[in-house]
Every structure is written in C-alpha cells, then in structure tokens.
Structure 1
Amino acid sequence: MANLRVHDAAKYLGLSKSFLDKARCYGGGPAFIKLGASVIYRTDDLDAWVAANLRVPSNDNSRAARAAA
C-alpha cells in the first residue's frame, strides 16, 4: 500500500486533481487522510473506490448480460 498526494492520486486514477478536490468537498470521492494542510490517499482506498463504482451495462445485448444468464 502506497500513500499518494492529490496530484499523484489523480494521475493514478486517470482523473483531474480538480475532480478529487471537488469530490472531497461535495462527497462521492475516495476516502482520504487529512494531515494538517496535506491530503493523502492510500492506493488501497483508491482501488476500492474504483471497484465500488463498477457499472455493468443493463443492455440485453451486452456480453455481461449474456454471460450472467
């Protein structure tokens, strides 16, 4: 498990730093640690957040829907 600052966490996720800044303020983003003025993200928390946001298409023609049937 690595600890990343905001800029590096954004690169890790392929998102903008601005998105993470807004997600911290308004909610819906990955868990973070606040140490004084620093914000730290653990890679385990980033991976868990990505996994929790997995969406499977509901289209009947999708491979996932056919495989689940």
Structure 2
Amino acid sequence: MEYQELWDIDDLANYLGVPKQTIYSWRTTGYGPKGMRIGKHLRWRAATVITWTLGLEQNQ
C-alpha cells in the first residue's frame, strides 16, 4: 500500500495561495481539487491537488 500525504484546509490554502473561504466557496460550486470528509474533517490528497493544478496549467 502506498502512503499519500493528506492536507487539511490550511495546507491547501497555503499551497494554492488563496483564503480558506475561497476553498469553501469552491466546494459549494463543485470547483477545485476533489476533497474528502474523514469524520467531520475535510482532507485533500496532496497528489490530487498537484494533479489538479497541473491540469489548470495545461488548459491555459
């Protein structure tokens, strides 16, 4: 089994350089990297976030 780092909202906001509220807004509209709930906590796989940003870069 491969270990993949999970990021919380602070990690994600810091990596993307956006406020946490922007990420919450994105989630309500279906935009942004796919996240998951673990109990009451939101988490994102680092690899998923990086892949998402690479996709944005390719579409420009």
Provide TM-score, normalisation by structure 2: 0.80
How many residues end up aligned between the 2 structures?
Answer: 55
Are 2:41 and 1:38 equivalent residues in the alignment? yes
Q: Determine which structure has greater relative contact order: mean sequence separation of CA pairs < 8 Å that are 6+ residues apart, divided by chain length.
A: 2
- Structure 1 unaligned segments of length 5 or more: list them: 56-69
Query: Identity of counterpart residues, as a percentage?
Result: 24
Query: Aligned to 1:16, which of 16, 19, 35?
Result: 19
Choose 1 or 2 for highest CA Rg: 1
Q: CA RMSD in A?
A: 1.0
Runs in 1 of length 4+ with deviation above 3 angstroms? none
Provide TM-score, normalisation by structure 1: 0.71
